[in-house]
């Protein structure tokens, strides 16, 4: 195992080298310094030795820093191989590599599993004054690609040990930020802080931040502090426990004088939290900036597989750009509300469908499907699940449920009128066709949801929406359910209602999958985390219900239908009579 640092710019290289040496010494592992270089052609991985006259500026700066400032602490692996230096147990073995290729970040991420690297140090993302912004974009790209532990570093290296009045060395000071319940990132941050404290001769201030949401908030914070402090198992590390009240790391850290610390450590995997912390935590202390280390744990295998699957899907499916995404959200927001226009179209569509069903006219029923406005709120619900847009979700569900109620009422009223005008009117074949859902209906509805979402996200495919509306067939089942009630066939009404909600579930599921595939993701708030976890639970619920419906439909499809049994019985009776 080793620690690696990815250096893509001379600016800040000295600070990153210093911190990488500290982390490597703390973990008792070798250090690998990696330099990327853009080039056309094949990717190449080379170990670098002492720079010559043709060496690049970064290559030269690295070896100058290592030889001038850390000669007693490290030994360069290439120099050992050349016989210029010898290694011992007290010095860190440092190797310098160059990765050459058209996309060095992607190439390094792909090679990383073969390099036995446990922890990777990167420059933090927030561009500062007089620094190359491209350096930070490359760091962010690599941060999102790799699956090992990552530490993003910003700020000055630790100062030399100072002496007190008695001539004793004063310990350095580290600040570890924790908030809420501990997760894996917090655990790794604690381990790294404890290792640094032992190797750097430092004391740790453990700051636990939580909202002051009850009268016993202080007692709760004290309990969490005691639990977290147990992670510093060594008696050699002095830990000072503090509690602060606020909504985030930043709120708690702002209550301290940060310039008194050599390094602030926090566990997080969010680039937005990183930017906010760098922007708000850094305080000037003369020419020195407080060091900041943001720690992300390694990615679990299941998450790695999911990331690869997501990348493969989104690489294959054309993505929606930001402008079209904004237009889509605006259009669905305005067109999925339950207003007069929605009620009018829904009422007219149901009336047309009910009359077409009563007349057994497929053409009229198709016309009703084109008028019905239900597809838009269903697409809005799918988008809301992917975006975690709670307001859009509420508007969509409200429109679907109230639209169903209005359509059912129109169907019942139409059925009563038909019964009064024509007492002997029988249930038509078109109505019986919507008696109950089957597996094919579920598949058609799922495909309709996919088509609707994709067409709405692509302005040049809007012409496909009428065909999608016909395929979805949302209003005819509601009209059938309404017509069947006054005609006394409650079984038909229940089956048609089940068909409608089966279509709804499958369409929402199809739209959600499509919007995810075209690049729409859950909104990330100021905390850097997904706003809420409820979208995934809703999505899982839709999947489970769809699977249960599919299983039930498959089972009942194998059973003889009641009408089929009756016809079979009639045929057998007629056959017996003829034989007699």
pLDDT in tens, 321-358: 777 778 888 888 887 888 888 889 889 988 998 888 88
Say if CB 266 and CB 189 are below 8 A apart.
Answer: yes
In a domain, 163, yes or no: no
In a domain, 305, yes or no: no
Strand-pair partners of 120: 4, 150
Domain check: are 232 and 381 in the same one?
no
Q: What distance in Å separates the CA atoms of residue 200 and residue 238, rounded to the nearest whole number? A: 12
77-86, 392-401, 418-427: which is most confident:
392-401
> Strand 149-154 relative to strand 291-296: parallel, antiparallel, unpaired?
antiparallel
Q: Check whether 223 has a pLDDT greater than 80.
A: yes
Question: What are the angstrom distances between the C-alpha of 84 and each of 21, 48, 49, 106?
Answer: 21, 15, 11, 34
Q: What distance in Å separates the CA atoms of residue 434 and residue 477, rounded to the nearest whole number? A: 6
Domain check: are 281 and 339 in the same one?
no
3-state secondary structure of 215: coil
**pLDDT given for residue 120 in this prediction:** 92
In a domain, 348, yes or no: yes
Domain check: are 326 and 264 in the same one?
no
Q: Which residues contact 168 (CB under 8 A, 6 or more apart)?
A: none
**pLDDT given for residue 154 in this prediction:** 83
**pLDDT given for residue 402 in this prediction:** 92
HEC letters along 97-163: EEEEECCHHHHHHHHHHHCCEEEEEEECCCCCCCCCHHHHHHHHHHHHHCCCEEEEEECCCCCCCCE
List the one residue out of 160, 139, 257, 271 whose CA is nearest residue 205: 257
Domain check: are 488 and 560 in the same one?
yes
103-112, 226-235, 301-310, 517-526: which is most confident:
103-112
Domain check: are 337 and 432 in the same one?
yes
pLDDT category, 281, cuts 50, 70, 90?
low
pLDDT 10s digits, 125-183: 764 444 444 555 778 788 888 888 889 888 877 777 767 667 677 888 899 888 766 67
Buried-exposed string 229-244: b where 16+ CB fall within 10 A, e elsewhere: bebbeeeebebebebb
In a domain, 486, yes or no: yes
Q: What distance in Å separates the CA atoms of residue 469 and residue 492, rounded to the nearest whole number? A: 23
Q: What distance in Å separates the CA atoms of residue 154 and residue 402, rounded to the nearest whole number? A: 54
pLDDT 10s digits, 51-83: 776 777 888 888 888 887 777 777 877 766 655
Q: Check whether 551 has a pLDDT greater than 70.
A: no
pLDDT category, 505, cuts 50, 70, 90?
confident
Q: What distance in Å separates the CA atoms of residue 273 and residue 279, rounded to the nearest whole number? A: 10
**pLDDT given for residue 280 in this prediction:** 66
Q: What distance in Å separates the CA atoms of residue 367 and residue 349, rounded to the nearest whole number? A: 8
Domain check: are 124 and 226 in the same one?
no
Last residue of a domain, one of 154, 182, 209: 154
Q: Check whether 292 has a pLDDT greater than 80.
A: yes
**pLDDT given for residue 574 in this prediction:** 58
Domain check: are 82 and 210 in the same one?
no
Say if CB 142 and CB 26 are below 8 A apart.
Answer: no
3-state secondary structure of 93: strand
Query: What distance lies between CA 482 and its chain's CA centroid?
Result: 42
In a domain, 164, yes or no: no
DSSP string, 499-542: HHHHHHHHHHHHHHHHHHHTT----B-TTSSBS-SHHHHHHHHH
251-260, 496-505, 542-551: which is most confident:
496-505
pLDDT category, 296, cuts 50, 70, 90?
confident
In a domain, 189, yes or no: yes
pLDDT category, 405, cuts 50, 70, 90?
very high
Q: Check whether 417 has a pLDDT greater than 60.
A: yes
Report the chain's terminal Cα–Cα distance, integer Å. 91
Token pair in block for residue 400: 């679907």
Q: Check whether 285 has a pLDDT greater than 60.
A: no
> Strand 2-6 relative to strand 92-101: parallel, antiparallel, unpaired?
unpaired
Mean pLDDT of 377-381: 88
Domain check: are 120 and 19 in the same one?
yes
Q: Check whether 499 has a pLDDT greater than 80.
A: yes
pLDDT category, 305, cuts 50, 70, 90?
confident
DSSP string, 34-53: EEEEE-SSS-EEEEE-S--T
**pLDDT given for residue 569 in this prediction:** 54
Domain check: are 96 and 193 in the same one?
no
- Number of domains making up the chain: 3
Q: What distance in Å separates the CA atoms of residue 539 and residue 512, rounded to the nearest whole number? A: 8
Question: What are the angstrom distances between the C-alpha of 506 and each of 275, 536, 562?
Answer: 40, 16, 27
3-state secondary structure of 205: strand
User: Structural domain of residue 19, as residue ranges?
Assistant: 1-154
Q: Check whether 29 has a pLDDT greater than 70.
A: yes
Domain check: are 352 and 456 in the same one?
yes
Q: What distance in Å separates the CA atoms of residue 62 and residue 113, rounded to the nearest whole number? A: 24
Q: What distance in Å separates the CA atoms of residue 454 and residue 445, rounded to the nearest whole number? A: 14
In a domain, 310, yes or no: no
**pLDDT given for residue 75 in this prediction:** 81
Instruction: Tell me what the pLDDT averaged over the chain comes to.
Output: 78
Mean pLDDT of 276-291: 63
pLDDT category, 413, cuts 50, 70, 90?
very high
In a domain, 437, yes or no: yes
The CATH number for 27's domain is: 3.40.50.620
Percentage of residues of the chain with pLDDT beyond 70: 81
Q: Check whether 400 has a pLDDT greater than 80.
A: yes
**pLDDT given for residue 530 in this prediction:** 47
Half-sphere exposure of residue 467, counting CA atoms within 13 Å on the CB side?
8
Domain check: are 282 and 341 in the same one?
no
Token pair in block for residue 511: 């739209």
**pLDDT given for residue 409 in this prediction:** 93
Mean pLDDT of 229-251: 78
């Amino acid at each position: 195992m080793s620690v690696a640092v990815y250096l893509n710019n001379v600016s800040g290289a000295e600070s990153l080298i210093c911190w990488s040496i500290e982390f490597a010494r703390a973990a008792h592992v070798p250090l690998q310094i990696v330099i990327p270089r853009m080039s056309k052609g094949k990717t190449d991985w080379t170990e670098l030795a002492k720079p010559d006259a043709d060496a690049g500026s970064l290559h030269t700066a690295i070896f100058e820093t290592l030889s001038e400032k850390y000669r007693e602490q490290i030994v360069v692996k290439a120099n050992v191989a050349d016989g210029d230096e010898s290694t011992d147990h007290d010095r860190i073995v440092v190797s310098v590599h160059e990765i050459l290729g058209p996309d060095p970040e992607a190439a390094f991420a792909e090679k990383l599993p073969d390099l036995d690297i446990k922890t990777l140090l990167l420059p933090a993302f927030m561009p500062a004054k007089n620094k190359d912004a491209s350096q930070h974009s490359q760091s962010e790209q690599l941060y999102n690609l790799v699956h090992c532990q990552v530490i993003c570093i910003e700020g000055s290296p630790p100062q030399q040990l100072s002496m007190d009045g008695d001539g004793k060395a004063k310990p350095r000071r580290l600040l570890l930020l924790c908030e809420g319940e501990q997760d894996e990132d917090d655990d790794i941050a604690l381990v790294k802080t404890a290792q640094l404290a032992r190797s750097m001769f430092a004391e740790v201030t453990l700051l636990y931040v939580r909202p002051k949401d009850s009268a016993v908030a202080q007692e709760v914070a004290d309990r969490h502090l005691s639990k977290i402090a147990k992670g510093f198992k060594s008696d050699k590390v002095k830990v000072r426990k503090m509690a602060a009240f606020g909504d985030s790391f930043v709120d708690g850290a702002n209550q301290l004088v940060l310039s008194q610390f050599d390094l602030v450590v926090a566990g997080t995997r969010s680039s937005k939290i990183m930017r906010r912390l760098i922007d708000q935590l850094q305080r000037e202390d003369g020419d020195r900036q407080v060091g900041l280390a943001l720690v992300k744990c390694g990615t679990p295998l299941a998450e790695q597989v999911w990331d690869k699957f997501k990348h493969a899907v989104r690489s294959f499916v054309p993505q929606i750009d930001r402008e079209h995404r904004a237009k889509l959200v605006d259009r669905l927001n305005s067109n999925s509300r339950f207003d007069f226009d929605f009620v009018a179209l829904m009422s007219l569509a149901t009336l047309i469908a009910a009359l077409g069903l009563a007349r057994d006219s497929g053409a009229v029923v198709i016309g009703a499907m084109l008028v019905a406005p239900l597809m838009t709120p269903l697409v809005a619900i799918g988008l809301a699940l992917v975006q975690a847009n709670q307001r859009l979700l509420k508007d969509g569900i409200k429109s679907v449920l109230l639209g169903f109620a209005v359509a059912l009422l129109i169907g019942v009223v139409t059925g009563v009128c038909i019964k009064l005008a024509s007492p002997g009117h029988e249930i038509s074949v078109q109505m019986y066709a919507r008696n109950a859902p089957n597996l094919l209906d579920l598949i058609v509805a799922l495909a309709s949801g996919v088509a609707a979402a994709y067409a709405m996200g692509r302005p040049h495919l809007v012409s496909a929406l009428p065909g999608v509306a016909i395929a979805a067939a949302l209003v005819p089942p509601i009209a059938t359910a309404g017509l069947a009630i006054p005609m006394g066939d409650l079984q038909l009404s229940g089956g048609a209602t089940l068909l409608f909600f089966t279509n709804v579930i499958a369409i929402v599921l199809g739209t959600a999958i499509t919007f995810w595939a075209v690049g729409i993701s859950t909104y990330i708030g100021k905390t850097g985390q997904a706003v809420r976890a409820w979208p995934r639970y809703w999505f899982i619920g839709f999947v489970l219900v769809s699977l249960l419906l599919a299983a039930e439909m498959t089972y009942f499809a194998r059973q003889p239908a009641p009408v089929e049994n009756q016809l079979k019985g009639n045929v057998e009776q007629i056959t017996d009579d003829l034989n007699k």
